[in-house]
Amino acid sequence: MTINRIIKAEGLVKRYGELTVVDGVSFYVEEGEMFGFLGPNGAGKTTTMKMVQCVSPKTSGKLEVFGMDVSEHPREIKKDMGVVPQENNLDPDFTMYENLRNYSRYFDIPPKEADKRIEELLDFMQLQDKKHFMSESLSGGMKRRLVLARALLNNPRLIVLDEPTVGLDPQARHLIWDKLRSLKKRGVTIVLTTHYLDEAEKLCDRLVVMDYGKIVVEGEPVQIIKDHIGTGVVEVDNHPQIVECLQKSGSSYEIMGDIIVIYTNDPMHIADQLSMECSLDKITTRKATLEDVFLKLTGRKLRE
């Protein structure tokens, strides 16, 4: 079976003067998959997405979307792409319906067809009963769903989302997750950036973690966790006598502030061993997550 690669990047570079923001990254996104870009602030993920969206020219390297070079065919690429920016950039002077209607004109969608699509999208996003409300009066969750509906007006083959659920409550987040899964089932290719590691772990078929402009890891979330962390994590309080005990036992550990973290494929065995050999009263065992991988690879230092 032939696999159609919607996005293909080879040695992609973006520089602003002497500053290299994206440093020779290579990746691909297959048709119909949900692909994630993770990384600390300033890692280069949003800049990479802007190059994919044909709004920021690449410095060098190769980048194709739908088999077309982004430098040579930006209009053709944008025609089949939907974009959800990080900020809700709705027109506050228009109602929900008017925001969608005016946006449809950018794609020369005939009025009758635009009305049909708008009604379908409002139903899909559970916004029908608020369609005549001014956009400024909507809740954060409604605004986010409206921005997603707007991105779907042109029936895109590819949707690019930058922090699609930032600032939303759990109910609104899960509703958007459900809508993204529904789009994926329809064959739409989805690329997203997010700081919510649980979101990426639940939604993405594959993902990359970027740091300092480079891709540091790529693959399926479950496999990435298994390769870099193991299946479980044991956490104990950071005390000098515990560190000494761990050193004697030969356990692999990492000190993170007031906590010592031990990555393992057998957390219960490690917990029992520590309890007997180190006389520990408080031991926490849990399943390893993508957040553990993220922090291990990119560190815990704040990035601005």
**Domain edges within the chain:** 230-287
**Does an H or E element contain 6, and which?**
strand 5-16
Residue with tokens 């608020």: 130
Residue-level pLDDT at 295: 87
| Pairwise CA distance, residues 124 & 237, whole Å | 48
Specify the pLDDT at position 259. Answer: 86
Within the chain, which residues score under 50 in pLDDT?
1-2
SS3 assignment, position 147: helix
pLDDT score recorded for residue 302:
52
| Contact yes or no for 197/204 (Cβ under 8 A) | no
Q: How far apart are CA 87 and CA 284, in angstroms?
A: 38
The secondary element (H helix, E strand) that includes residue 162 is strand 158-162
Bridge-based pairing state of the strands 19-30 and 5-16: antiparallel
* Three-state secondary structure call for residue 76: helix
Q: Does domain 230-287 have CATH number 3.40.50.1360?
A: no
Question: What separation in angstroms does the CA of 102 have from each of 91, 105, 120, 153?
Answer: 10, 6, 16, 11
Q: Considering the entire predicted model, what is its pTM?
A: 0.90
Question: For 90-128, what is each residue's pLDDT tens digit?
Answer: 999 999 999 999 999 999 999 999 999 999 999 999 999
Per the CB < 8 A criterion, the answer to whether 23 and 48 are in contact is: no
Q: Please give the pLDDT value at position 1.
A: 42
pLDDT at 179: 94
Q: What is the pLDDT of residue 257?
A: 82
**Alpha helices for 6-91 (secondary structure H):** 45-52, 74-79
Q: Which of 258, 239, 293, 296 is nearest to 247 (CA)?
A: 239
Sign of the torsion formed by the C-alpha atoms of 93, 95, 100 and 101: negative
Contact 54, 30 (CB under 8 A): no
